[in-house]
Amino acid sequence: MANPYFQRKTNTTPGCQIDYLVQTKFNTLYVCEIKSVKHPLGPDIIQEMTQRCERLKVPKNFTVRPVLLHMNGITESVREQEYFSHLIDIKDFLHEDRAQ
């Protein structure tokens, strides 16, 4: 399953919004954050994702893998921390085939 996800706040559960959440049959949740900003993303994105993952109510025996889809790059410090399971540059999907 894959969709945007919104967890409503209750008395026992904090609320959170996930841009795109992928659940696999292997009990893995890919928590995807999609960012399109003017400047490369810095280490603040790691703190933001950590908070979202901590707020997410995760079923028993599931693992959480954070994924970042970005538009204008990331700083080297984000890459060096190796926090994200996958770093995906959206621009890689937007190249036109000019050979035609």
pLDDT per position in the chain (100 positions), as tens? 778 899 999 998 899 999 999 999 999 999 999 999 899 999 999 999 999 999 999 999 999 999 999 998 999 999 999 999 999 999 887 765 545 4
User: 72 is in which domain, residue-wise?
Assistant: 64-100
Tell me the whole-structure pTM to 2 decimals. 0.85
Residue 77 lies in a domain: yes
Beta-carbon contacts of residue 63 (< 8 Å; ≥ 6 apart): 27, 28, 29
Residue 19 lies in a domain: no
Question: To the nearest whole number, what is the mean pLDDT of the chain?
Answer: 91
In angstroms, how far is CA 66 from the centroid of its own chain? 5
Residue 82 lies in a domain: yes
The domain total for the chain is 1
How many helices and strands in the chain, by DSSP H and E? 2, 5
Per-residue CA distances from 66 to 12, 13, 33, 83, 98 (Å): 24, 20, 8, 8, 34
Q: Which candidate, 43, 27, 35, places its Cα nearest to that of 68? A: 35
Residue 97 lies in a domain: yes
Which pLDDT does position 23 carry in this prediction? 95
Q: Which candidate, 43, 28, 36, places its Cα nearest to that of 85? A: 28
The upper half-sphere exposure of residue 20, i.e. CA atoms within 13 Å in the direction of its Cβ, equals 8
Residue 74 lies in a domain: yes
Which pLDDT does position 88 carry in this prediction? 94
